[in-house]
Amino acid sequence: MGSIANPKSKLVRGGMAILLIATLALGADAARACTSFILRTRTGGVVYGRTMEFGFPLKSAVILIPRHIALHATGPGDKPGALKWTAKYATLGLNALNMPAIIDGMNEKGLVGGALYFPDYAGYADPAKTDPARALAPWDVLTWALTNFATVAEVKAALPRIAVVGLKEAHLGLVPPLHYVLHDASGASLVVEPIGGVLKVYDNPFGVMTNAPPFDWQVTNLKNYVKISAINAPPLHIAGQTLTPIGQGSGLLGIPGDPTPPSRFVRVLAYAALAEPQADGIASVRAAEHILNNFDIPRGWVRPRAGDATQWEFTQWSTIADLTNRVFYVKTYDDQVLRRIDLKSLNLDAPNLLSAPLVPRPEAPALVLKP
């Protein structure tokens, strides 16, 4: 991944406003297909996986927000908000557009999370009616959670103290629709969705998430797939005839294969729930990688409208986080080799942000043959 160095841009702000400017400039169709899940290891450890789909290049880098960095929410007019805090826990993750702001990451205590697109359903509190000292912009929430808390329970307990307000991005006059997933090293999972001006908070025993509709709808929809099984279906005896399944995998017959959020929710749950648990460490990381591969979207496969190649949504990068060992992995569209960053090996008290660019490597590494 290359050496880690100080970024050239300004110090951390509590959010990802510049990323969202570009997203909204391309329209709501630019980001709809993120998929996330967790796997349990044989000994109860947790591995998290997530894909990031967008319709334009994000130019992401891995960044580290060290402990003790001063952060603040975003206020109206893109000015500093009244809610301020100091990073309690160092946080590692992915940014976008060369900005020092994490959009998917893990902190030093093993709390991991991501901001996922939530179009048509996100509804925020009115900033004019909200105490500014409690207000977070939609793009502030994940940074606030990961730099402040060690567990899902701590985040859940703190949520009543904040409000996510519907701030428009100053240049475009639009409010970005987001919801949030969080998991910790114990395997606890949380979904936070701003709907109707309040935060809907769900414990997530399934550990999976995609995009819209809301989480409770996705769970209800699972009742349409109660026969999902890793075991092949038995033969059917009818009219004196015996009908046997064609090939392997009939326990998953009828599972939806399209890239819409409801279909991906069902499919990622099936893969994550039915995969055989592996040992801690790289074996479980590789299992998560195989699942992620099923949600990889190549350029041109998803097109918002005909004749516009600028918004072809594709999987720009995928991340895996080993919450037990505090190791973060990433691979990109142009470099499918999984690369690792050990959070424990970094200077978590660094005086400034640390970063490493994701340099494209389209050529496959050579395999050398020997006699």
Average pLDDT on 234-254 reads: 94
- In this structure, which topology does domain 17-213+279-357 adopt according to CATH? Penicillin V Acylase; Chain A (3.60.60)
Token pair belonging to 74: 């975003």
Dihedral pair phi/psi, residue 79, rounded to 5°: -95, 160
Indicate whether 9 pLDDT > 50: no
The pLDDT assigned to 215 comes to 98
Q: What is the DSSP letter of 290?
A: H
Across 81-99, average pLDDT: 90
Please state the φ and ψ torsions of residue 240, each to the nearest 5 degrees. Answer: 75, 5
Span 125-170, pLDDT tens digits: 999 999 999 999 988 899 999 999 999 999 999 999 999 999 976 5
| pLDDT score at 191 | 98
Q: For 215-232, how does the pLDDT look when each residue is reduced to its tens digit (9 = 90+)?
A: 999 999 999 999 999 999
The Cα–Cα gap between 33 and 315 comes to 8
Active-site residue (options: 16, 33, 34, 291): 34
Is 205 catalytic? The answer is no
Burial class from Cβ neighbours inside 10 Å (0-12, 13-18, 19+) for residue 200 reads middle
Higher-confidence residue: 364 or 3? 364
The pLDDT value recorded for residue 96 is 73
Percent above pLDDT 70 for the chain: 88
Q: What is the DSSP letter of 163?
A: E
pLDDT at 315 over 80: yes
Q: Residue 84 pairs with which residues in a beta bridge?
A: 72
At 19-43, the pLDDT tens digits run 444 444 444 444 567 999 999 999 9
Mean pLDDT confidence for 202-213 = 97
Spell out the residues 6+ positions from residue 145 whose beta carbon is closer than 8 angstroms to its own. 111, 113, 155, 180, 182
Please name the residue that has the structure tokens 């809907």: 200
Please compute, for residue 212, the number of CA atoms within 13 A of its CA located in the half-sphere on the CB side: 15
pTM for this prediction: 0.89
Helix (H), strand (E) at residue 106? strand 104-107
Minimum mean pLDDT range among 91-100, 173-182, 294-303: 91-100
CA nearest neighbour of 114 among 48, 181, 52: 181
Mean of per-residue pLDDT scores for the chain: 88
